[in-house]
Amino acid sequence: MQTIEDYISYWELESHPFLLSPQPSMFYEGGQYFECLQRLRYAVKTQKGGVIIVSEEAGLGKTTLILRLIEEMKSTYGNSVKFAFVEHPTLDANQIIAYIKREITGEEPYDDKLKNLLAIREVLSDLFERGGKCVVAIDEAHMLVDSPSILQELRMLMNLTYRESYLHTFIISGQKPLWHALSQMREFWQRLPVRYYLLPLSLDETRNLINFRLKKAGCKREEIYTKEAIELIYRFSGGCPRTIIALSDLALLVGYTNLANKVGEKEVAKGIEILEGKGDALPYMEKVQRIAKPQISLKSGQRERIEHLKDKKGETPVSKGFLLILILVLLPSLFFTAYLRGKVSHLTIEAPITKEEQMVRDYKWEFLKREAVIKVKAANVRYSPSTNSERMAILMKGHRLEILDSEIDENGNRWLKIELMRKRYGWISEKVVEVEE
């Protein structure tokens, strides 16, 4: 019996919804997966011979599709089904044939390739007479694009026929390079009449996949992930189901740790940091040269004078009465002068600006009202210009923004003020953006 972790029980789920291993029982039969599975069913039922399944990138569900098909065949044909699922195509041709022979016949293979092929034909011919079905699937076959001799051997394996019908359905699956390689092998390509090319999921398909898995896991809540959380999962994953599942699982764990009622952007953002193997201090920043803070140097006489005043323990060298008279005399004249200038309400006395401070001010004004674009995969937005400030949002690579203000924190790092949706303002590090000229 499967042990349910505490964080899964916290969300009132009966089983784990987001395991990374292929799970035919968790197969989301929607969109392109429904269409692809329908074509696989058609190929098996009509004995069409060859099928090719290719995905744009890794993690789009090819293996789960094949395993789901095999599970259906077991349910439909019972003992009248045979299958060989080759997960390690890096074997040589003889080893692949030997492995298929053992899986189909249930007996140890011979050392001779011809004997193995004859044994395969004999078992499949008998299966055909009884109305049974057989599937031979080669997974991760893009690893064979540089091994044309093995591909040719697999093509010959497809030629096993009986009474003008193919004895098995041959499925070859892999990533993008496989499609190009086999399309250049005319004799192989023609034997693959059923073809499907998997693409990353859309936002709606991502939402449906998450909700489907939660429901299959026994979810009774109306909502666990907020709309914003799912949108962030989609943006980070790029629609790759494997990444969607991994990040969704981590977000559940973070929500359990935070005792959250729902999984929101905050939990997903923390999940991204865990998935990236990073900490909580803006991991996407690059190290750049910091602007040193101006240092005040004291001459020896000044330092001695300060120490002397400290030793007085609060005593002052000037009497309080003298200070009071001085204030009463000077204050009216200051206000009168300000009044003549019409600036009574703006009376300020500014200290001289150091060279270093002026450089910082000039550098600050260079940024204002300029546009920038996020240059890292994901960047944190804080409530205030500090790595210790709580994160309020996360922006993905390519997001454009306008710089409204600029500040330097206590460590010499520059932060840029930006506007988010609904008139919300936040701060983002200069190191994660590219400021346009």
pLDDT in tens, 199-227: 999 999 999 999 999 999 999 888 999 99
Q: Give me the domain span that covers residue 368.
A: 356-435
Choose between 25 and 291: higher pLDDT: 25
CA distance 100 to 71: 18
Give Cα separations from 335 to 322, 325, 326, 329 (angstroms). 21, 16, 15, 11
Residues 160 and 32 in one domain: yes
CB contact set of 250 (below 8 Å; sequence gap of 6+)? 270, 271, 274, 275
Would you say residue 379 lies in a domain? Answer: yes
Residues 189 and 40 in one domain: yes
Residue ending a domain, among 275, 292, 321, is 275
CA distance 241 to 147: 29
pLDDT confidence of residue 310: 43
pLDDT confidence of residue 422: 55
Average pLDDT (66-81) is 89
pTM as predicted? 0.63
Indicate the number of domains in the chain: 3
Residues 149 and 32 in one domain: yes
CA distance 192 to 184: 13
Residue ending a domain, among 198, 230, 253, is 198
Residues 84 and 194 in one domain: yes
Would you say residue 10 lies in a domain? Answer: yes
CA distance 180 to 437: 42
Residue ending a domain, among 165, 198, 231, is 198
Residues 166 and 53 in one domain: yes
Residues 54 and 176 in one domain: yes
For 265-289, write each residue's pLDDT tens digit. 999 999 998 888 875 433 333 333 3
Least confident of 114-118, 147-151, 367-371: 367-371
Check which CATH number belongs to the domain holding 82 and give it: 3.40.50.300
Q: Kindly compute the dihedral angle of the four CA atoms of residues 388, 392, 395, 399, in this order, to the nearest 10 degrees.
A: -110
